[in-house]
Amino acid sequence: DAGVIQSPRHEVTEMGQEVTLRCKPISGHDYLFWYRQTMMRGLELLIYFNNNVPIDDSGMPEDRFSAKMPNASFSTLKIQPSEPRDSAVYFCASSLSRGGLRQPQHFGDGTRLSIL
């Protein structure tokens, strides 16, 4: 079974540009999570979806960040305009809701974003 797939794996762009990160969750999973990891702040939850509906976006740092999940097999995280302090590794994770809250999350290998 394929795991969570993220693209691109690496992104280098200049300040002010729009950045779009993509995620394909594991088939059948109905929770999807976006995280950001930095040395200073560790692993931060940005937003998560259940059945394609955003449940909690309180971790989204600013209005420059937006996330969508148009269907069960695809999600995007967009930053517009990007700033150097957005440089981080962004992870997507998915999990099953069957069994309640007992299911582990499965992570993709992340997108390493560098804003120059």
Binding footprint of another protein on the chain (CB under 8 A): 4, 33, 42-43, 45, 48, 50, 55-56, 91, 93, 100-102, 104-110, 112
The span from the CA of 45 to the CA of 33, in Å, is 7
Closer CB to another protein, 14 or 53, in the complex: 53
CB of residue 10 to another protein, shortest distance in Å: 10
| Alpha carbons 23 and 32: distance in angstroms, whole number | 9
Q: Is the peptide bond before 61 cis (omega within 30 degrees of 0)?
A: no
CB 40 to another protein: min, Å: 11
